Amino acid sequence: MAVKVLLSGRLYVRGYGQDKKNGLPGWFELDLQGGETVQEVIEAMGVPSDEVSITMVNGKECKREASVRDGDRVILIPPDVAALWRYLSAMSMHFGSVFDL
């Protein structure tokens, strides 16, 4: 099974996931066995857990315990970018997902 993982902001800049197959800047393909959680994706990408403030699957915020399935898009957001997302949410920008922007 494979998922696409976006390392947002400084997670990409710091070079996490560079050993994974990538496409567009920041996006990586991660092969998994099946049944993994978002937390396990974070670990597989080599990102320290404390450097991720928001996690999303298919554009919607989720908990780290959420399961991922084949073809899912997982987004890992560091604290600096998370502050922007929280600001946008506070401005009542009611998007169903980040892909609605």
Q: What is the pLDDT of residues 9-59, one digit of tens each?
A: 899 888 888 877 777 778 999 999 999 999 999 999 999 999 999 999 998
Q: What is the pLDDT of residues 88-97, one digit of tens each?
A: 767 765 555 5
Per-residue DSSP letters for 37-79?
BHHHHHHHTT--GGG--EEEETTEEE-TT-B--TT-EEEEE-H
Measured from the Cβ of residue 8, the count of other Cβ atoms closer than 10 Å reads 22
Q: Looking at residue 23, what is its pLDDT?
A: 73
User: To which residue do tokens 């994706």 refer?
Assistant: 41
Residue 85 belongs to what H/E stretch? helix 79-90
Confidence of residue 66 (pLDDT cuts 50, 70, 90): very high
Q: Distance between CA atoms of 56 and 52, rounded to whole angstroms? A: 11
Domains and CATH numbers, the chain: 2-100 (3.10.20.30)
Residue 5 belongs to what H/E stretch? strand 2-7
